[in-house]
Amino acid sequence: MTRSQLTRTALATLVAGSLLSLSACGLGGAGDTKEAEKTGRVAGEITFRTLQLKPVYTGYVQGVIDSFERKYPDVKVKWEDVPGDGYNEKLVADAQAGALPDVVNLSTDSFQLLGDRGMLADVATLDAAVAKDYVPGAWEQFRLPGKGDGVYAYPWYVTPEILTYNQDLFRQAGLDADKPPTTVEQFFDYAEQIAARSGGRYSAFMADPKGRLPGDWQKMGVPLLNASRDRFTFDTDKAVAWAERMKDLYAKGAMPKESLLKADDINQLYGGGKLVFGPGSPGFVKDIRLNAPQVYAQTRVAGAVTGTLGHIGIYAQSLGIRKDTRHPDAAAEFAKWVTNGPNQVEFSKKATIYPSNAKGLADPYFSDRGDGKDAETLARAIGAGQLATADLDANTPVEWTSQVGDAVAREMQKAVKGDEDPRTAVRKAQEEANRLLAAAVRK
Amino acid sequence: MTLTPARAEARGGARGDGRPPAADRATGADTGLPHRRWWTPYLFLAPGLLMVVLFSLWPFVNTVVLSFTDAQILRGGSFVGFDNYARALADPDFWMATGNSVLYLAVVVPCLVLLPLALAVLVRTEVPGIGFFRSAFYTPVIASAVVVGLIWQWVLRSDGLVNTVFERIGVISGPVPFLTDSTMLLVSAMIVTVWKGLGYYMVFYLAALGNVPEALHEAAALDGAGPVRRFFSITVPQVKPMMLLVGTLSAISALRVFTEIYILGGESGGPGGGSRTLPFLIRQVGLGFSGETGYACALSILLFLLTLVFSLLGRRLSKGDEE
């Protein structure tokens, strides 16, 4: 072998070795970061990431930042807003690269992932006294199984579940618009009557099992998990009865056929007067007022179907603090500033959201029912009223991850379409959910 | 313009012997430069190579390594040997997704090789207003996936355009489940893929057709060959290399199909996930809180091998044609 050949071989080996050792880096966990400790000095440059708030809420967010910087002149807040599409993927990539922002807006999914992997600061340790500022349940929502008493994010705004329906179609179907359903079973009875009377001109609700579960099962009293929360236990007669009823209603035309696969055109269908029950969020009522005034005039709002639970769950957006932030004092103070009562109330007046802050929710704006006729005003009051009694047992458990939801939805789609026996579908759904749960808790 | 000595040499005119300076360097002749190093070309290649290594090679090697582990998102894994591959081979979802991907390829590739060629031949005809048609056929290529998805949902849903028209004229008695049956959903997605690809590959063929000597057609016409005979005896043999290229490219695209299934069949990939292709399955397995990165990487490698097989097949066909 000549000298140049030797050099070439050595170089190639070096490149291959570097690639292999670099790729082995991908095996390293990302969660063993050191928890930042407070210094008592609120200073430094911090990054703040939000989820799709520009350009509609640019003025509001910038105003909150400016007032914070005026109060704490030694802090500089660098705001970055990221579009909703791919938000979680970008967070994961940043977390892997060690480039998480100091203060970050988290959805339920991203909170679970980053919290479980030990990348978020325990805000209960950073500031234990702040817990009382938030509505009951909102603070506790950010605890994590197996992580002790830690709380891993500050609650931000909440969107309560309500019931919206078209009273004109209700009456056409022979139903009393003043008596909306309160249980899942009653909801299905109403849907059956709607299907029977509509003549195919309109449907009752969207079939998408991913959107309906596990909420429907919780409201029917189906136990989702065992006591130690390490096994799913929803394979029960009640869950099978749910699948059988859905199959029957789907065959009778109570739901649009394509809604079995996706529910993202619900606004369009409801706005077009082809659906009796609209989405269960107050923000939707505003959209209908702007986009379909005629249907808005027929829209009624009521408390959500809560079944045996009797109350709704709490779904709060949150602000997490990067565990190893260089400026924990500034980051914690800023997160508290953004989520304080006045700032949340101001935000809620601009967007159709609700404060998770107890003082904020007590603002008269949220209890005003107007003349009792305007759907949007009523939706706000009913939503706020429901939040007062909301509790975490109605929330989707953290063990019910997006992948568990997908796996269950796939089996339920087969059952609803009649491609699989409902009992078999529920059993197979539970098996797959348990397999995913076992994989997720592996440490 | 005054030439500097360096420029003059670069033009091969400094010595006036007409010998290009490259020849000097190749033979190590007296150029005043140090002796040629073997690594000099690599130095020029380095910036490009660095990009390839960073953004293609390293992620690929990383995928291979991770496929032998039980890694999860943001959580390190340990080596598990061939467990992920064994699991894939025993996983009914893997075989279902592979079957769907291969079926997709088997239907879409012939359509995308033949239909754009026919279209290219048609739009080459010089008639008034043909520019409009060329543009119209190309429009789907630049349309966004979301818009395309919405349009096709309106066309194919139970109360959509196709079902309504067919029901009105009495061709069908009930709506065809284009979007709610796994197989029909797959067929619908194939239609969208072909519709989107027609204009794209038509441009390839227009370029190839431009290189077919007109004299061949004229000679054949003089010999009495009609348009059909000329198409099969002159046009097709002349554009055959392009057909092979289009076949290979569309085969690779067909094996990577994801968007069409997602926009028509939702997150679950059709009812019960029955229309999922391999890329769809990889995404479903790999993302999310309980995402299994190791297994998803193993599935990616298997998809890579499948793509490699079809690419080599295309290459072999291409070589056979040259011989």
**pLDDT score at B9:** 42
- Report d(CA A203, CA A221) in Å as an integer: 26
DSSP string, A131-190: GGGB-TTTTGGG--TTSTT---SEEEEE---EEEEEHHHHHHTT--TTS---SHHHHHHH
Q: How does strand A44-51 pair with strand A75-82? A: parallel
- Check CB contact under 8 Å for B75 and A109: no
Tokens of A350: 């601009």
**What region does A29 belong to: left with phi over 0, alpha with psi -120 to 50, or beta?**
beta
User: Using 50, 70 and 90 to split pLDDT, how confident is the model at A25?
Assistant: very low
Contact A391, A398 (CB under 8 A): no
Q: CB under 8 Å to B187, separation ≥6 — which residues?
A: B107, B178
Instruction: Please state the ipTM of this predicted complex.
Output: 0.81
Measured CA to CA in angstroms, residue A420 lies from A159, A300, B104, B179, B225 at distances of 35, 37, 25, 18, 59
B286 Cβ contact partners less than 8 Å away, ≥ 6 residues apart: B73, B292, B293, B295, B296, B297
The pLDDT of residue B223 is: 87
Give the pLDDT score at B28. 46
Per-residue pLDDT of A301-340, as tens digits, reads 999 998 888 888 888 889 999 999 999 999 999 999 999 8
Question: How close, in Å, is residue A436 to chain B by CA atoms?
Answer: 7
pLDDT for A212: 92
Provide the residue type at A434 as one letter: N
Q: Which of A4, A92, A257 sits opposite B38 (nearest CB)?
A: A4
User: How long a stretch of residues is chain A?
Assistant: 443
Provide, as residue numbers in chain A, all residues whose Cβ is less than 8 Å from the Cβ of B270. 261
What pLDDT is recorded for position A295? 92
Does the pLDDT value for residue A139 go beyond 80? Answer: yes
Q: What percent of chain A has pLDDT over 70?
A: 91
Q: Inter-chain contact B267–A260, Cβ cutoff 8 Å? A: no
| pLDDT per residue of chain B (323 residues) written in tens, 0 to 9 | 334 444 444 444 444 444 444 444 444 445 566 667 888 888 899 999 999 999 999 999 999 999 999 988 888 788 999 999 999 999 999 999 999 999 999 999 999 999 999 999 888 887 888 888 888 888 888 888 888 888 898 899 888 899 999 989 988 888 889 998 999 999 999 999 999 999 999 999 999 988 888 888 889 888 888 888 888 888 888 899 899 999 989 998 899 899 899 988 888 888 889 999 999 999 989 887 678 899 999 999 999 999 999 888 878 877 766 55
Domains of chain A, each with CATH number or no CATH: 44-158+314-366 (3.40.190.10), 162-311+393-441 (3.40.190.10)
Are residues B267 and A26, on separate chains, in Cβ contact within 8 Å?
A: no
Q: Provide the sign of the torsion angle of the four alpha carbons A110, A112, A115, A119, taken in this order.
A: negative
- What chain A residue is nearest to B58 in terms of C-alpha separation? A19
Supply the pLDDT for residue A248: 96
Cβ within 8 Å, pair A410-B157 = no
Which residues in chain B are closer than 8 Å to A437, comparing Cβ atoms?
290
Whether residue A349 is predicted with pLDDT greater than 50 in this model: the reply is yes
For residue A406, give how far its alpha carbon lies from the nearest alpha carbon of chain B (Å): 6
Please judge whether B38 and A8 are an interchain contact, meaning their C-beta atoms are less than 8 angstroms apart: yes
The answer to whether the CB of B317 falls within 8 A of the CB of B244 is yes
Query: Which chain B residues touch A262 with a CB distance below 8 Å?
Result: 265-267
Whether the pLDDT of residue A21 is over 60: the answer is no
Q: How confident is the model at residue A430 (pLDDT cuts 50, 70, 90)?
A: very high
Do residues B93 and B285 make contact, with C-beta atoms less than 8 angstroms apart? no
* List of residues 6+ apart from A279 with CB closer than 8 A: A164, A266, A267, A270
Q: Is the pLDDT of residue A240 over 80?
A: yes
Among chain B residues, CA nearest to A113: B289
Give chain B positions within 8 Å (CB) of A208: 266
pLDDT at residue B13, as a whole number = 41
Across the interface, whether the CB atoms of B74 and A113 are under 8 A apart is answered yes
Q: So what's the pLDDT on residue A30?
A: 53
Cα A360 from Cα A341, distance rounded (Å): 4
Tell me what pLDDT residue A4 has. Answer: 59
- Which range has the top average pLDDT, A103-107, A352-356, B74-78? A103-107
pLDDT at B188: 93
Q: Is the domain defined by B83-322 classed in CATH 1.10.3470.10?
A: no
With beta carbons under 8 A apart, name residues in chain B contacting A145. none
Distance, in Å, from the CA atom of A151 to the CA atom of A128, rounded to the nearest integer, reads: 9
Count of C-beta atoms within a 10 Å radius of residue B246: 25
Residue A241 CA to residue A373 CA, distance in Å, equals 37
pLDDT at A7: 61
A20 touches chain B (CB under 8 A): yes
Is this structure's pTM higher than 0.80? yes
Nearest CA in chain B to A95: B74
Q: Does A417 touch chain B (CB under 8 A)?
A: yes
- On the question of pLDDT at A17 being above 70, the answer is no
Q: What is the pLDDT of residue A5?
A: 64
* Rounded CA separation B87/B70 (Å): 12
Distance from CA of A29 to the nearest CA of B (A): 4
CB contacts under 8 A, A 88-127 vs B, are 89, 92, 95-96, 109, 112-114, 116-117, 119
Q: How many beta-carbon contacts under 8 Å exist across A and B?
A: 128
| Contact status, residue B291 vs residue B70, Cβ threshold 8 Å | no
Asked if residue A29 has pLDDT above 50, the reply is yes
User: Which residue, A169, A108, A177, A119, is CA-closest to A396?
Assistant: A108
pLDDT of amino acid A138: 82
Is A294 an interface residue toward B (CB < 8 Å)?
no
Beta carbons within 10 angstroms of residue A22's beta carbon: 15
- Contact, A376 vs A289, CB < 8 A? yes
Please tell me the distance from the alpha carbon of residue A42 to that of residue A19, in angstroms, as a whole number. 42
> What per-residue confidence (pLDDT) applies to B57?
92
Residue of B nearest to A94 (CA): B74
Nearest CA-CA distance, residue B265 and chain A, Å: 6
Which of A27, A257, A400, A412 best tests the B interface by mutation, with the highest count of B CBs <10 A? A27
Q: What b-and-e string marks burial along A396-430, b requiring 16 or more CB atoms within 10 Å of the CB? A: bbbbbbbbbbbbbbbbbbbbbbeebebeebbebbb
| Nearest-CB residue to B267 (from A95, A112, A210) | A210
**Nearest CB partner across the interface for B267, out of A406, A411, A442:** A406
Q: Once rounded to an integer, what is the mean pLDDT over residues A293-298?
A: 91
Identify all chain A residues contacting B144, using CB atoms and an 8 Å cutoff.
none
Output the average pLDDT for chain A.
86
Interface residues on B facing A, Cβ-Cβ cutoff 8 A: 38, 53, 57-58, 61-62, 64-66, 69-78, 153, 157-158, 175, 177, 179-180, 265-268, 270-273, 284, 287-292
Distance from CA of B266 to the nearest CA of A (A): 5
Three-state secondary-structure class, residue A48: strand
Q: Could you tell me which residue, A37 or A337, shows the higher pLDDT? A: A337
pLDDT for the residue A15: 55
- Per-residue pLDDT, A238: 95
Q: Enumerate the H helices of A339-400 as residue ranges.
A: 341-350, 358-361, 375-389
Is the pLDDT at A19 greater than 60? The verdict is no
pLDDT tens per residue, range A376-429:
888 888 988 888 888 888 888 888 888 899 999 999 999 999 999 999 999 999
Is B268–A409 a contact, with Cβ atoms under 8 angstroms apart? yes
Rounded Cα gap, residues A269 and B159, in angstroms:
12
| pLDDT given at position B14 | 41
